[in-house]
Amino acid sequence: MKLDAKIPAGPLEKKWDKHRFELKLENPSNRRKFNIIVVGTGLAGSSASATLAELGYNVKTFCLQDSPRRAHSIAAQGGINAAKNYQNDGDSIWRLFYDTIKGGDFRSREANVYRLAQVSNHIIDQCVAQGVPFARDYGGLLTNRSFGGAQVSRTFYSRGQTGQQLLLGAYRALSRQVASEQVTLYPRRDILELVVIDGRARGVVARNLITGEIESHSAHAVVLATGGYGNVYFLSTNAMASNVSTIFRAFRKGAYFANPCFTQIHPTCIPVHGKYQSKLTLMSESLRNDGRVWVPKHPGDKRAPHQIPESERDYFLERKYPSFGNLVPRDVASRNVKEQCDQGKGVGETGLAVYLDFADSIKREGKDSIAQKYDNLFQMYEKITAQNPYETPMMIYPAVHYTMGGLWVDYNLMTTVPGLFAIGEANFSDHGANRLGASALMQGLADGYFIIPNTLGGYLAGAHLNDVTVDHPAFRSAAQASLDRIQRLLSIKGKRTVDDFHKELGLIMWEYCGMSRNNAGLAEAKQLVHSLKKEFWDNAIVPGINEEFNQSLEKAGRVADFFEFSELMLSDALARKESCGCHFNENYQTEDNEALRDDENLCHVAAWEFGGEDKEPIFHKEPLSFENVELTQRSYK
Ligand SMILES: Cc1cc2nc3c(=O)[nH]c(=O)nc-3n(C[C@H](O)[C@H](O)[C@H](O)COP(=O)(O)OP(=O)(O)OC[C@H]3O[C@@H](n4cnc5c(N)ncnc54)[C@H](O)[C@@H]3O)c2cc1C
């Protein structure tokens, strides 16, 4: 299939308006004839469900948690970007667009990113109207802070709980529609299969997580807003429930998967402290507005931080990148932290940590001012490490955080399966090879509040769809396939826990497909994952039965998908014979260890098609063209 991104013609700044005008419309009284399934109630799914229902569509909304409010988005800390230029510091839609393209190391679509920057301003208005309590300055106006990869302050925030406050806003909008019966909520459901009829997405098969019942739901279109898949690495900053299953199942049904190997490793997380740990905790990038990153100048220096004089400290980000300092983008910061630790300058017991020090800003602004901005993050740090960051520098290390890869979508956010849309972190759309901080919330809400309500309407108005019911054979066979897989998992009856397999898989992926990769390691990892997958299907133990609340079974399905998906990630990483953004292949680097792109051969989106059971995926590419910005070597110096 030839990939058509359906990018509208015309000047960059007019594309979205022109496209919206040209999209077919469905009149208000007709909209109630359409049923739409939305999977996911994070910022992307909640905002989409609420807005589609507000327009009059009948929406069925699914999530894993007992309440939509518990979606992973609630964990987002530092803020959300928008090009409002309230600080009058030189920001503009163009600058947000440019920073995002550059931050993504020139591996994203100009048209999508420009639209994102345009829509960003409406998001802030929408959320303020909903009552989201963004931080305000002394005079009562909305205030901003800075995030990585930008030299302006454009990030709106609610202390270190921005995701929670935004999600409460979206949840309120969703609840209004639930109350008016325009949205039917299905919490505690695990979507196991996508149902495709006559080449179009027409429904899903779900498992009721409490009773084990397998349910089928039909619709005229399906929207996947199931978040990111960082948990493939076992340890990540993601919520424990974050997974790849729904989008991977859609991939197996014909949706192409784009750039699966683009994983963001966030530089500032609380370091791993033991082998029984199952979760890592983020310390928001916003902290680098005031915290300074440093290591001792001399390898092996084990003195306590306050015993190391200024002259023996290396503020390596400020030294190497004077223009952006501590606020270089995440991929650049993470690689530099690793480099310092590899040189033996890491601190703490394991040597896998660097300092994030607030002493200067506390001296400059006072403890109260720092507490006002970050106190909940400081408390979280102290609870986990038993160290007070107002007195001792934080110790931080990079950890898996976000996935830029996801289902391939065109400008309308539709996948290669007509009628199947992907929004939020579940798609690949806007961040190229590296996402800038505070841009995930922006993208999820842009997709949900402003883009999908237009483009999905355009699809429905032109699609001429018959009604289908769950009696259709495609539903019956998808439900049977789900049951068969569940029975297969339950009948392995081996000796090793699913968690144990997941941990080993995560270690392989971290070691060979993590912060840096190389061709030989990636090829070796493919063998390792393949044989571990085989062992999983021979020797995993999945206790209990289907007809009950069975978290082991739920997890087993996820890990089985992570295995197959890891193979796809490794194929993608191997095929991209360059370094770009977060994909740092040691075989391709500049003299000063920066990512070395190959724009001549690899300036494209890699979109993978399912090749069949135990077969290699099929590679397709969407060439990227840069007509408005110049393709240059990224520099933050
Ligand atoms: C600790 C942390 C802090 C962050 N801070 C920021 C920040 O300050 N700014 C920023 O821009 N970004 C931040 N991010 C990134 C951002 O939070 C996420 O990218 C974003 O919230 C994802 O939203 P989403 O709606 O796409 O998915 P999610 O919020 O992950 O929601 C996924 C939804 O899909 C449902 N789901 C998943 N699988 C299934 C299934 N199989 N069946 C049924 N339902 C399913 C879940 O139940 C859930 O409702 C942060 C990320 C982390 C981990």
Burial of 109 (0-12, 13-18, 19+ CB in 10 A): buried
Q: How far is the C-alpha of 264 from the C-alpha of 129, rounded, in Å?
A: 32
Pairs from 10-13 (Cβ < 8 Å, separation ≥ 24)? 12/110, 12/111, 12/114, 12/627, 12/628, 13/93, 13/114, 13/118
Judge contact between 3 and 622, C-beta under 8 A: yes
List the one residue out of 357, 352, 161 whose CA is nearest residue 270. 352
| Helix (H), strand (E) at residue 600 | helix 599-602
Report helix, strand and coil shares of the chain as percent, to nearest 5.
40, 15, 40
For 125-157, what is the HEC assignment? HHHHHHCCCCCECCCCCECCECCCCCCCCCEEC
What is the number of the ligand 1 atom nearest to the C-alpha of 189?
A: 43
Q: Is the CB of 444 under 6 A from ligand 1?
A: yes
* Contact (Cβ atoms closer than 8 angstroms) between residue 187 and residue 65: yes
- 520 C-alpha to center of ligand 1: Å? 33
- The amino acid present at 33, given as its one-letter code, is K
* DSSP 8-class letter at 397: E
The response to whether residue 281 sits with its C-beta less than 6 Å from ligand 1 reads no
Alpha-carbon span 146 to 172, nearest angstrom:
28
Please check whether residue 39 is in contact with residue 206, taking contact to mean a CB–CB distance below 8 angstroms: no
- Positions in the chain whose pLDDT score sits under 50: none
DSSP string, 523-577: HHHHHHHHHHHHHHHHHEE--S-SSS--HHHHHHHHHHHHHHHHHHHHHHHHH--
DSSP one-letter code for 628: S
- The pLDDT, as a whole number, for residue 452 is 98
Spatial contact of 60 and 219, defined as CB atoms under 8 Å apart: yes
For residue 593 and ligand 1, the question of a CB distance below 6 A is answered with no
248 Cβ below 6 A of ligand 1: no
Edge-to-edge strands of the sheet including 618-623? 406-407, 257-258, 604-609, 618-623
Nearest CA to ligand 1 atom 10: 438
Bridge partners of 184, per DSSP, are: 60
The residues with which 258 forms a beta bridge, in sequence order, are 406, 607
Q: Which of 38, 51, 64, 451 is the best mutation target for the ligand 1 pocket, counting ligand atoms within 8 Å of the beta carbon and taking the most? A: 64
C-alpha distance from residue 100 to each of 109, 220, 599 (Å): 10, 34, 18
Atom of ligand 1 nearest to the CA of 425: 26
Query: Which 3 state secondary structure label does DSSP give 52?
Result: helix
Taking CA atoms only, the protein residue closest to ligand 1 atom 15 is: 440
Q: How far is the CA of 226 from the centre of ligand 1 (A)?
A: 7
Query: What Cα–Cα distance (Å) separates residue 567 from each residue in 209, 400, 423, 604, 613?
Result: 28, 18, 24, 21, 12
- In short, whether 45's Cβ falls inside 6 Å of ligand 1 is yes
Is the separation of the CB atoms in 2 and 416 below 8 Å?
Answer: no
Residue 290 CA to ligand 1 centre (angstroms): 26
E strands, 575-624, are: 604-609, 618-623
Instruction: Quote the ligand 1 centre to 165 CA distance (angstroms).
Output: 14
Phi, psi (5° rounding) for residue 13? -75, -10
CA of residue 45 to ligand 1 center, whole Å? 10
> How far is 194 from 448, CA to CA, in rounded Å?
20
Token representation of residue 276: 């029984």
Q: What is the pLDDT of residue 633?
A: 87
Nearest by Cα to 270 from 437, 76, 74, 401: 401
Ligand 1 contacts CB of residue 424 (under 6 A)? yes
Do 506 and 232 contact (CB within 8 A), yes or no? yes
Element (H, E) at 390: none
Task: Kindly name the residue from 107, 159, 200, 330 that is annotated as catalytic.
Answer: 330
Is residue 330 annotated as part of the catalytic site, yes or no? Answer: yes
Determine whether the shortest distance from the Cβ of 190 to ligand 1 is under 6 A: yes
CB atoms within 10 A of CB 315: 16
d(CA 106, CA 628): 12
Ligand 1 pocket member 574 (CB < 6 A): no
Question: Given this model, what pLDDT does residue 2 score?
Answer: 82
Atom from ligand 1 closest to the CA of residue 39: 44
User: Distance between CA atoms of 441 and 556, rounded to whole angstroms?
Assistant: 30
Burial of 124 (0-12, 13-18, 19+ CB in 10 A): buried
Secondary structure of 150-209 in the HEC alphabet? CCCCCEECCCCCHHHHHHHHHHHHHHHHHHCCCEEEECCEEEEEEEEECCEEEEEEEEEC
Please give the full DSSP string across 474-491, using - where no structure is assigned. HHHHHHHHHHHHHHHHHT
How far is Cα 346 from Cα 106, in angstroms, rounded to an integer?
32
